[in-house]
Amino acid sequence: MFAGFARSLSDPESDDGNPRRAEQVAPAPFQRAGLFGNLSGRRRAGTARLLVDSSSPRRIVATDPVRIGENLLALGALPVGAGTFDDVAATTPKPDWPWPDLVEGPVRDRIQNVGYYGTDKDLIERVEPDLILDLRYRSTGETLAGDLSDGRCGYGELSRIAPTALVDVPLEAPGLVERLEQLAKVVSLEDRVAPLVATWRARIAVLREHVVGETVSACLAWGRSLEEGAPGQEVGHIPDEEHECQLFTSLGMELTPPPEGRKAYLGGSVMVGVHGLSALTAPTLFLTLDGVPSDQVRGFLAREPLSRLPAVRQRRVFDLGWRDMRGGWFSYHWRLDVIARAFGICRLSSRGPNGSTHLAVAASGKVTAASTSGDGVATLSGPKLSGVSFETSNGSAASIDIDDAARFHLRMFPEAYSISTEGRAAAPITRDRESALERITRSYAASDVSSSSENGNVMKLTTEGAAI
């Protein structure tokens, strides 16, 4: 959210052709991955030599940190290396990973820099991977690392370092679910996809009930280009409904179309000059000014044509945190949170032994809930509530009727409330927030891999944020 245009998003109390599939190009079918295991050795001639079970990838490199890296983290797989969005020096101790704060420091610290989108073969070899994951453009068959390295780090070159598998880009919006399925099949973690998808659909369902029909505009603009303002110079791009990274249509919202112009390389958006920004006519605008410090945002919004936009005049401008308009599990959830806060919706959840219940609570009006544990009856209890029962269903939102006082307290003090289901103890409600740290920690706890491994990417994390 831009400074001066609404309450801070960080305020916890704010009311406010026919390409082949990834599994077809994987060098061999992988069995269930031991995510924190040990790679005992590899041939320096280039072919990976696994002294452990060769069907189990244990040291994974992700060329794209968002579309591949984030989704691996969501599956509970910690990559040993990931590409960056910036062409930083190999000696940089902590690259500027393009992840939201939902990917915490202890997780970031365990992932090594393997160059700009995984195009540094020396850095990749240094982390000794037994699996490399790269993207392949559907339209051309070209790979991401190969394209960005002018062919020096294509599929063949990566395959000589370690077995390499490709996943498709772009995908139908939102691309999250299909890419999770592709990656999970490559690393044999298919059993983890269904719970993730159920959680995602429940979160979408409850928020959709509050924002369906709202009209919004969206844009990623480059601060340097706006500053230069040369006639005819492209200053950003505006997505359309086909862009795999936009969530608005999944939430039933209307996305204003981009103007006529040059299509972006992968489609799904139109490149625009300064005057093209006039097409952002919706009453709510999600605008990312890439490269613009927060203390300079207001100055950019005071310039034409931005200053004349309805959303700017009404102080309804919000930052989705887009980095080149790419998305993974945690980036998608960060944007889901921004959209919810833009419309004054508080997102809550309650985790039980067999699944979770997700809620969306408006400042005034309805409360909606959806469960990942199937059909049944649940009861919401807490201060100013004697116990309100509602029916739950996978992926479908139910409305809960509570009075204004209870709704206010639920938004402000969710930990004082709980949800119980038939035959189950009550589970406390918390703010609904994703965490890579939590997902990796849970994966580690469920793993029987020894934490004493010296060569694998083994980590033990605590919720206090320390890596041990």
DSSP letters, 55-71, are TS--SEEESSIIIIIIH
pLDDT of residue 197: 94
283 shares a domain with 233:
yes
Q: Of the residues 300, 316, 341, which one is the last residue of a structural domain?
A: 341
Q: What's the chain's Rg over C-alpha atoms? A: 23
- Show the DSSP H helices in 26-93 as ranges: 71-74
Q: Are residues 37 and 159 in the same domain?
A: yes
Q: Are residues 86 and 106 in the same domain?
A: yes
Res 264: pLDDT: 80
- Say yes or no: 390 and 422 in one domain: yes
pLDDT of residue 28: 33
Residue 463 has a CB neighbour count (10 Å cut-off) of: 11
Identify whether the C-beta of residue 39 lies closer than 8 Å to the C-beta of residue 200: no
Q: What is the CATH number of the domain that holds 84?
A: 3.40.50.1980
pLDDT at residue 447, as a whole number:
65
Q: Which domain holds residue 414?
A: 345-431
H/E run at residue 289:
strand 284-290
Pair (233, 165) in one structural domain:
no
329 and 354 belong to one structural domain? no
Residues 321, 353 within the same domain: no
pLDDT score for 6:
36
Task: Report pLDDT for 169.
Answer: 84
Q: What is the pLDDT of residues 344-402, one digit of tens each?
A: 999 999 998 888 999 999 998 889 999 998 888 999 999 988 889 999 877 789 999 99
Q: Where is the domain boundary, 107, 137, 169?
A: 169
Whether residue 245 sits in one domain with residue 141: no
Q: Is residue 321 part of a domain?
A: yes
- What's the number of domains the chain is made of? 3
39 and 165 belong to one structural domain: yes
Q: Which residues of 228-248 are buried (b: 16+ CB within 10 A; e: fewer)?
A: eeeeeebbbbbbbeebbbbbb
In a domain, 194, yes or no: no
End residue of a domain, out of 169, 199, 231: 169
**320 in the same domain as 355:** no
In a domain, residue 446? The reply is: no
Residues lower than pLDDT 70 in the chain: 1-56, 87-94, 228-231, 265-266, 447-468
Pair 348, 361: CB distance under 8 Å:
yes
**Does residue 164 sit in the same domain as residue 36?**
yes
Q: Is residue 5 part of a domain?
A: no
